[in-house]
Copies of this chain bind each other. A is one copy, B any other.
Amino acid sequence: MVSKNQIKAVAALHTKKNRQQSRHFIAEGAKVIGELLDAGFRLENLFVTEALFPKVDPSKKITVTEAELGRMSALSTANNCLAVFEIPPQKPIEQLGLIVALDDVRDPGNLGTIVRLCDWFGVKQIVCSMETAELYNPKVVQATMGSLARVNVSYIDLAAFLSETELPVFGTFMDGDNIYSETLPKNGIVVLGNEANGISSEVEKAVNRRISIPRFGNLQKTESLNVATAAAIVLSEFRRFEV
């Protein structure tokens, strides 16, 4: 049985303020929850509408009705399970291999897609400006499809971090060098900018390799690529020569 107060407490985790105060977040659906459990995220409670997750400690598992799950869910149509996990403490940043830096990427869907993409391309570390969307926003958690269990996402003063790193710092700009003809290193930081404003002038100062994705449309009217699709193309270029 689940109490009204319990439902309220879970639904409260839809807001950033409550997530930060309680240090908990929600994940929905068997795939995402399963990946977080496998990765060792600490489970607070698991709400299910049917028999699922036989290995989970029964004292943490609560059977609920679909209507109850719907009131806790952040999805427009609730799944058959919802878990509350502890937000783990930030791990130290590993300056190894390829790192993705996000300069105020605000859309939760974009952040989630980029985390999933980093997981695909073996990027283990993402560093985010403090204004970037929050990793534990339910929309981000869902869009990662469980990949947030395998990528370390850190929130820092991005301009300060980039000004001190010894790795080469790549940024995409309209006037950058054609990415298709550049020799790209195995180690480095790729900066992706805000959806509307691109890379901020403060962060731009730390960029020492300006790159660009060429445009092929005839009319030259396409304003820009979506940040997640630009990330896909840039990461693919960094990795393609390793095959």
Contacts and interface: CB of A to CB of B under 8 A. Distances in A.
Interface string A208-243: 000001111111011101101111110011011011
Contacts of A132: none
A222 B116 CA distance: 7
A72 B240 CA distance: 47
Interface stretch (A58-66, A118-126, A159-167): A118-126
Copy tally for this chain in the complex stands at 2
Contact of A216 (B109, B121, B145, B216): B121
Contact of A150 (B113, B221, B226, B228): B221
Contact of A236 (B117, B120, B233): B233
Contacts of A215: 120
Contacts of A120: 215-217, 222, 225
Given A120-B215, A216-B242, A35 B221 contact: yes
A205 interface: no
B213 A236 contact: yes
A137 interface: no
Given A216-B121, A243-B178, A223 B150 contact: no
B121 A229 contact: no
A116 to B, nearest CB: 6
A214 B226 contact: no
A53 interface: no
Contacts of A42: none
Contact of A232 (B150, B222, B233): B233
Nearest to A180: B240
Contacts of A150: 217, 219, 221-222
- Nearest 9 A/B pairs, CB to CB: A122-B216, A229-B232, A232-B232, A180-B240, A233-B236, A119-B222, A120-B222, A121-B216, A122-B217
16 contacts: A116-B229, A120-B215, A120-B216, A145-B223, A146-B221, A147-B222, A150-B217, A150-B222, A178-B243, A228-B228, A228-B229, A229-B231, A232-B232, A233-B233, A233-B236, A236-B236
